[in-house]
Structure 1
């Protein structure tokens, strides 16, 4: 089973970078949770170092990751420098990264640049959450929070950013992203139900059969 650890930077008493009342901790929590929700549609397990505006230390973040085995650790951030002086996206791996980290970080970086962000490149850094985690780890800086243009792009293309990052992650996992079909007003949609189970393991087994048969968009919904 594929398992990811998502880390949303800062939180609680640590707001991260701030500009004109905007907080990095809020931006990354909101967007990161949306990416997690999108990836989970494909049966990928996503654990999160925080799910609300609470303080989580760097040690607590790495300890959280170290308690389980993950395919990837992905830390979400927004950048800051001097007001209106820098812009663009950049992404990081730890020093001398492995092939998995290098591939994922480049795929995410390219996806965000394609949405219109300035390309500041992929870099290496001795950050705690990259150094002290076991899984292939990347850290993504999604534009500068102290740049009006980056904030405008971040807000206007929020759904596209979510989709781009989700697609990049799924691609590295060998999972094809399925473009959602727009609903036409007045159109009747027919859903195919293949069973309902009281035992979760039976539902998982049926889901596996459906996906092996080619129904890649099949998923489990609890009621």
Structure 2
């Protein structure tokens, strides 16, 4: 089963970049948690370095990631420069990145540019959370918090941003994105209890069971578990 570590930048005593009362720490926490919910909907395990407005040091973030083995570590941020002087998205990898880090960064970057953000490119940086984590790691700056145009995109296309980042991650994991039903969308943020209807060593048997369940109007899909 795929497993990810999500890192929401700043928090608690460290609001990150701020502009007109808006805090980076709040933006990335709320958006990142929704991306996590969407990714989990596809059977992926997501651990988070923080789940509330809490202060988490850089060392604690990397130590948290080091405790487990992840397919990817993804850190969510928003950029800042001078008010209204810069805009766009950029995604970072560590210096001389591995293929997995680079490909995920390129997928996330492209998915956000399509939504209207200025393309500032995929870049390399010696950031702590990229350097001190074990798994392929990326850090994404989702627009400039001190740019009104980027904030409008962040707010008005929020659901599209969540979907775009989710699809980029799933693509790199080799998982097909499944559109959420109306019932699923209403349940986001709630605790859901999934019921398994059997495990099969032969895929055809699993597909036959899926067919039977769908004929009985039961929502069903195949989830692959490696022993």
TM-score by length of 2: 0.83
For the residue of structure 1 that corresponds to 2:138, the secondary structure is: strand
Q: Take 1:142 and 1:167, find their aligned partners in 2: how far apart are those partners? A: 16
SS of residue matched to 1:213: helix
Q: Deviations over 1:131-182 (max 9, x none)?
A: 0000000000000000000000100000000000000000000001012356
Residues 1:4 and 1:210: Cα distance change in structure 2 (over 3 Å):
farther
After TM superposition, the structure 1 = structure 2 runs for residues 93-108 of structure 1, keeping only pairs within 5 Å, are 93-108=93-108
Q: Output the CA distance in 1 between the equivalents of 2:155 and 2:175.
A: 27
Hey, what's the Cα distance between the residues in 2 that align with 1:174 and 1:167? 10
List, as ranges, runs of 4+ consecutive aligned residues in structure 1 with deviation greater than 3 Å: 180-183, 203-212, 214-220
How far is the alpha carbon of 1:93 from its aligned partner? 0.1
Verify: 1:15 aligned to 2:15, yes or no.
yes
Structure-2 residue corresponding to 1:85: 85
Once the two structures are superposed, the pairs formed by residues 53-64 of structure 1 within 5 Å of their partners are: 53-64=53-64
- Tell me the SS of whatever aligns to 2:46: strand
Go from structure 1 to structure 2 and tell me whether the alpha carbon gap of 1:207 and 1:178 turns closer, same or farther (over 3 Å shift): farther
Query: What's the offset of the Cα at 1:20?
Result: 0.2
Contact kept? 1:42, 1:219, Cα under 8 Å = no
**Equivalenced residues, count:** 203
C-alpha distance in structure 1 between counterparts of 2:46 and 2:160, whole Å? 20
Q: Distance in 2 between matches of 1:85 and 1:142?
A: 16
Unaligned runs of 5+ in 2: 184-193, 211-218
Alignment-derived partner of residue 68 in structure 1:
68
Identify the residue that residue 215 of structure 2 maps to in structure 1.
none
8 Å CA contact 1:207–1:219 kept in 2: the answer is no
Give a deviation string over 1:55-87, Cα, whole Å, max 9, x none. Answer: 000000000000000000000000000000000
Q: Which residue pairs with 1:190 in the alignment?
A: none
Pairing partner for 2:221 from 214, 218, 222: 218
State the SS of the aligned residue for 2:51: coil
Residue 112 of structure 1: aligned partner: 112
The 3-state SS of whatever aligns with 1:84 is: coil
Q: How does 1:173-192 map to 2 (within 5 A)?
A: 173-181=173-181
Q: 1:37 to 1:181 in 2, by over 3 A?
A: closer
Name the counterpart of 2:152.
152
Q: Which runs of 5+ in 1 are unaligned?
A: 184-194, 197-202
Asked if 2 retains the 8 angstrom alpha-carbon contact of 1:113 and 1:119, the reply is yes
